[in-house]
Amino acid sequence: MALNNSTIYLEGKYNEINLVGLPFGSTVNLVNNRAFIPIFLGGVFGACARWGLLEMLPTTGNWPWQIFILNVAGCCILGILVGCFSLETKLFHALTTGFCGAFTTFSAFSVDLAEFIRNGQLLTGFSYLLASSFVGLWGYFYSKQRLSIRMASK
């Protein structure tokens, strides 16, 4: 790994290709230092928002409603942000990768799904998988489309 002003590069030779499958001698820009701080700060706020909402949302029944609601809300927020911002700004990366990445939680979703499977609740697990995936995608596309319609009408 080599540090070059504002960029960290991964360099390495493994037989005839480097660690990421490119011809040896190639370099790969892994982290742009100027984007790292805004993404980090967005992640801090996203994680705090997730924790706060998890504390506020009630835990009821067998279905993990808290994680479902957070993940769907995160998809909706992401749809709005993608519709609002230029894709290459620091604020965009801070809010999408940082905030939304920390606000939503694929790991908790995976743990809940694994628990359903481990406990033999295959139908519940399958419905959780489908509902989370489809409602999350719907939330993203619906939010992005509604924002586009609103912005076009102004």
What is the DSSP pairing of strand 28-32 with strand 2-4?
A: unpaired
**CA dist., res. 18 & res. 16, Å (int):** 7
The CA distance from 113 to 91, in Å, is 33
pLDDT at 47: 97
Q: Is residue 4 over pLDDT 80?
A: no
**Angle subtended by helix axes 33-56 and 65-84, to nearest 10:** 140
Specify the pLDDT at position 140: 94
The pLDDT of residue 110 is 95
Q: What is the mean pLDDT of residues 113-117?
A: 95
Q: Is the pLDDT of residue 26 over 90?
A: no
pLDDT tens-digit profile of 53-103?
Answer: 999 988 888 889 999 999 999 999 999 998 887 777 888 889 999 999 999
Give the residue-averaged pLDDT of 5-18.
42
